[in-house]
Amino acid sequence: MTDFSAENQDATVPGSEWQRLSPMSVIYFILRFVVGFARQGIQNLAIFGGIVFATGSNRLGMIVFGIGVALVVLLVASVLSYINFRFRVNRNAFLIHRGVLQKKRLTLSFDRIQNIAIKEPIYFRPFGLVTMALESAGSASEEVNLAGIDRRVAEELRKAVLARPAVAEPQAAAVADALSNEDSAGVLLHHKVGELVRYGLSNNNMWVFAGLAAGAISQVDDKVGKMINEWLKLPESYIASLDTITATLLGIATLVALFAFMMLLSVIGAIVIYHDYRLSFEDGRFLRLKGLFERSETSLPERKVQALELKQPWPAILLKRRHATLLQVGFSNDWEEGNLNPKQSKFIVPSLTDENTAKLVSHLYPDLDFGGISFTGVNPMYLKRLFFVDWASPVALLSVSLSFLATPWFLLLNLLPALILPFMWLNYRRLGYWSDGRYFAVRTGLIGHKLVLFPLHKAQSVKVTRTPGQRRRGLATLTIKLAGHKVKIPYVPDLVAKGARDHILRVIFAGHTPWM
């Protein structure tokens, strides 16, 4: 076995010649191509379906031929991907050669590596193989996936990366050893199935499933749509024969059943993804293990966490749980808009009790009194702007314009802002900020809430802006940018915004605490 330890590395790692993956990695490439095909949606099947329908009486033969060609192409592409994938490790970087039609050469230096994840898919377990995924700061996704390598090799590679002086903690060797043995690390959290059921019931995944279903339905072509309409004729005729009360009850029961089905999908997804979830902390590094069919082991240095995000949707309030996300460096094309890269895998800590939340915060920010956080609300002018500027004025203009083109009934659109006013008020009441001079927190939300908490030395820039209306009332908007995230607090007193800006700039330029 190749020795990747730091003391045995000079210019290059001994024995670090170009290496191939295991032949079993062909399975990984097959599944990756299948998943990529599925992500293209129903359009891919629609093209094949159009060809089949155009072949007339020879449809069965065309279907068999198409499936055969697809399987051959899939197998050939996967084998070529395996043959063309090579990797090696030198003193400071991974070198990757990959690609079939378009050859790529990738150099990933150790100091750019942000996360190291060792995944154990179910199809690799009988062979003692794993997938080693390396995420780098600034990448749109995982830049390196070494699929089908021996677990012992993956562990030694991880130790070699952690032992690099550029990225090592003061006790890097101890950290690497702790990562090799999950029992040696201090366990912060260990979720059983019951807790994952709570997470599935209290997160927003059910609405994601509903959105995916709606998107899929919207892409169905005309022929499939006509077929669905034919299937729906029977229940339509049955409903037409019912009286109003029975039809109404049946409709309510159908909605409840759909809601329950989406919740069931959310619970199943939570159990599959986060099965046997374990979160540990040892020597400044978080270690996460999760997954039913694919066991994933991810390590994250505490110093690379830019902010802590705590979410509590309204179902989570009922279940007395929070869901945390450790926000990392991840620049995306729309970073200026304050969005994290949507393709970057998130370090999620699901279903936290108040005790679990306090424990997580104490490991991230030992000198922070989390229970003493008391938020200050924004000026009531923020609510007035939401109602009159963002909703009432545009809706009134739209309704008046449409009333001339269609019917005066469009004037009823003016009632829309009044109907939305309670939600505006909830948004105004939830919006708040807090700081003790070392940390900053922002709270947003409607019925539930989201809290973003970060140390001020992690800030990258800060600015104060004022609209003419804010200037007349002595108000301003404070915007703080982190590496990959942004928080904005509107309608705060101008003196408070400028004082916060000046203090944050002093912390940024006078402090010596690293943010990476």
pLDDT tens-digit series, residues 276-326? 999 988 777 888 889 888 888 888 888 888 899 999 988 899 899 999 999
Q: pLDDT band at residue 133, thresholds of 50, 70 and 90?
A: confident
State the pLDDT at residue 382: 92
The residues spanned by each domain of the chain are: 22-84, 195-274, 381-428
> pLDDT over 70 for what percent of the chain?
71
Q: What is the pLDDT of residue 331?
A: 40
- Please indicate whether residue 238 or residue 399 has the higher confidence score (pLDDT): 399
Supply 130's token pair: 């794993």
Contacts of 499 (CB under 8 A, 6+ apart): none
SS3 of the chain: helix, strand, coil, percent, to 5: 50, 25, 25
Interval 239-261 mean pLDDT: 77
Q: How far apart are CA 130 and CA 119, in angstroms?
A: 6
Whether the Cβ atoms of residue 285 and residue 169 lie closer than 8 Å to each other: yes
How many DSSP H helices and E strands does the chain contain?
A: 16, 21
The SS3 of residue 83 is helix
Query: pLDDT tens, 187-238?
Result: 888 999 999 999 998 886 655 555 545 444 444 445 445 555 555 555 555 5
Please determine, for residue 439, whether its predicted confidence score (pLDDT) is greater than 90. Answer: yes
pTM of the shown model: 0.70
Q: Is the pLDDT of residue 164 over 70?
A: no
List the strands of the sheet with 278-282, edge to edge. Answer: 144-150, 129-136, 113-121, 294-301, 285-290, 278-282, 186-190
What is the band of 10 on the pLDDT scale with cuts at 50, 70, 90? Answer: very low
496 pLDDT tier (thresholds 50, 70, 90): very high
Per DSSP, the three-state class of 135 is strand
Query: Among 298-307, 439-448, 498-507, whose mean pLDDT is lowest?
Result: 298-307
